[in-house]
Amino acid sequence: MENASAYKVLVVDDDVDIVEILQYNLDKAGYKVASANNGKQAVEIVKTFLPDLIIMDIMMPKMDGVEASRIIREMPEAAETYIIFLTARAEEYSEIAAFDTGADDYITKPIRPRALVSRISAIFKRRSKREQAHNTLSVGDLVIDRQSYTVYKADQLINLPKKEFELLYFLAQHPNKVFSREDLLQNIWGADVYVLARTVDVHIRKVREKIGEGYIRTVKGVGYKISLEN
């Protein structure tokens, strides 16, 4: 099983018995668990608990699961949150409404808690594999690992400060695409931080000194790009 303690699960249902049995089984499996009894409460909990996965009933008082899912899907902090709907209703329109609001999965009651926990474990295993694949980029003989903030060139470690690393990683995510200084300032430093465009030039120069001249190309009058044509 994946390291369950690294993941947080929010259980949302107005049936106290269902919440208790799911919370018990998820706790036993090692997950960090929070619970809510209606959609309105769930939306508030998501803001602070930041769950990796939500198990949510559709038919609830105050705010149903469909409306809660619609609101949660508009929250930037929950963009990657996996949502599984639970419902005793098997009508097609309920399923369609659930998926239209961004649900990832749909389970009809009665629930088999152990089977559901196994399903959640499989979801997190797939997610972990995707994240590992996305976190490591290769450009020529460079290997750039976002998870450990390391860069290797032909198996030799290259030490880059955080901003230099983020600049290299961002460009490597978009090979052969040209970014202006303003684009890079926006994506690496953010809109709320005031730095001069010259800062990008300085960081590019420092990265080139460490990884070599053949990777980051200057497109005169436009900006910079990672080139795969070494």
Digitized pLDDT (tens) for each residue of the chain, 230 residues in all? 455 567 899 999 999 999 999 999 999 999 999 999 999 999 999 999 999 999 999 889 899 888 999 999 888 888 778 898 887 765 555 666 666 777 778 788 888 888 888 888 888 887 766 655 567 888 888 999 887 889 999 889 999 988 899 999 999 988 889 999 998 988 888 765 566 778 889 999 999 999 998 899 999 989 999 986 54
- The secondary structure of 41-88 as a DSSP string is HHHHHHHHH--SEEEEESS-SSS-HHHHHHHHTT-GGGTT-EEEEEES
Q: How far apart are CA 227 and CA 175, in angstroms?
A: 6
Residue 230: per-residue pLDDT: 47
Is pTM beyond 0.85? Reply is no
Query: Which neighbouring-strand residues pair with 153?
Result: 142, 156
Residue of 8, 14, 7 lying closest to 41 (CA atoms): 14
Q: How far apart are CA 101 and CA 75, in angstroms?
A: 13
Residue 89: per-residue pLDDT: 64
Pairing outcome for strands 223-226 and 216-219: antiparallel
Residue 23: which residues within 8 A CB-CB, separation 6 or more?
11, 33, 35
Residue 211: per-residue pLDDT: 94
Statement: 4-134 belongs to CATH 3.40.50.2300: yes
- The residue to which tokens 């899907």 are assigned: 73
Residue 1: per-residue pLDDT: 45
Residue 106: per-residue pLDDT: 79
Contact 87, 110 (CB under 8 A): no
Give me the CATH code for the 162-226 domain, please.
1.10.10.10
Pairing outcome for strands 150-153 and 156-158: antiparallel
The CATH 1.10.10.10 portion of the chain extends over: 162-226
Residue 54: per-residue pLDDT: 95
Residue 191: per-residue pLDDT: 62
Coil, strand, or helix at residue 225?
strand
